[in-house]
Amino acid sequence: MRRLALALLLLIGAGVVTAAPKFLAVWKAPDVSRLNFAGRKVAALVITDDQSLEMSGEEALNRELTARGVSGVATYRIVPREELKSPEKAKGWYERAGVEGVVALRPVSYDKERTYTPEIWSTSYYQSFWGYYAYSWEGLYIPGSSRETTTVVVETLIFSVPRDKLLWAATSETKNPEQLQSFVKDLVSAAAGEMKKMKLVG
């Protein structure tokens, strides 16, 4: 999870194309026909042990929520860190802050895949067995033309605090995410699109 936090905070994969979030699974509560948090207080929650990612992620998510007409607040601003992981202690802070909804992001996995292109085998090192033999033992890392694909999988959940109920959930993957701000913005926009398809939002 620390590697994942670092990957989200820094620029990843410079020079590669960033793909929009792709949703792998989407779910909504059967008894929920519409989501309407307009004007209501909604907390942004990023579930991670990395404090920098938590704060930066929640602020980025809060900005996206506020831009969509809700009264957003970053969770780290209302719940003390030492009480954040305790449901019993955190509950009181959410209630006292008048939070009606929570949008939670939880990084689930972070994978890197390196693909080598065939031209590395046309270099002089590879043209003879003994040339390769001498070269190969000098270093096990093979420099050459390659492409690295980074895939980040994130779980996005929306809860009603007064009802203590999950309203909507999705798992998405993003390839080669760049800055945290643009990553969160793209994720929220894509999630809003999925909710529009389900007619949960206007």
In a domain, 130, yes or no: no
What is the reported pLDDT for 112? 84
In a domain, 143, yes or no: no
**Token pair for 170:** 């999705």
Does the pLDDT at position 11 exceed 50?
Answer: no
Contact residues for 172 (Cβ-Cβ < 8 A; gap 6+): 21, 22, 23, 24, 153, 154, 156, 187, 190, 191
In a domain, 137, yes or no: no
What is the reported pLDDT for 2? 56
- Tell me the residue type at 20: A
* pLDDT tens, residue by residue, 106-116: 998 888 887 76
**Token pair for 181:** 């701000």
**In 29-100, beta strands by DSSP E:** 41-46, 71-74
Dihedral sign computed on CA atoms, order 80, 83, 86, 89? negative
Number of domains in the chain: 1
In a domain, 140, yes or no: no
Q: How far is CA 198 from CA 28, 34, 176, 193, in A?
A: 9, 9, 28, 9
CA distance 158 to 32: 12
- The pLDDT > 70 percentage for the chain reads 79
Mean pLDDT score, 148-166: 92
pLDDT, mean over the chain: 83
In a domain, 54, yes or no: yes
Cβ neighbours of 115 (radius 10 Å): 9
What is the reported pLDDT for 56? 92
In a domain, 91, yes or no: yes
Contact residues for 116 (Cβ-Cβ < 8 A; gap 6+): 142, 144, 145, 146
What is the reported pLDDT for 16? 44
Mean pLDDT score, 97-113: 91
In a domain, 160, yes or no: yes
Give the domain extent around 173: 2-114+148-197
* pLDDT tens, residue by residue, 23-72: 999 999 999 999 989 999 999 999 998 899 899 999 999 999 999 999 99
CA distance 73 to 71: 7
Domain with residue 191: its CATH number is: 3.40.50
Does the pLDDT at position 95 exceed 90?
Answer: yes
In a domain, 176, yes or no: yes
What is the reported pLDDT for 117? 64
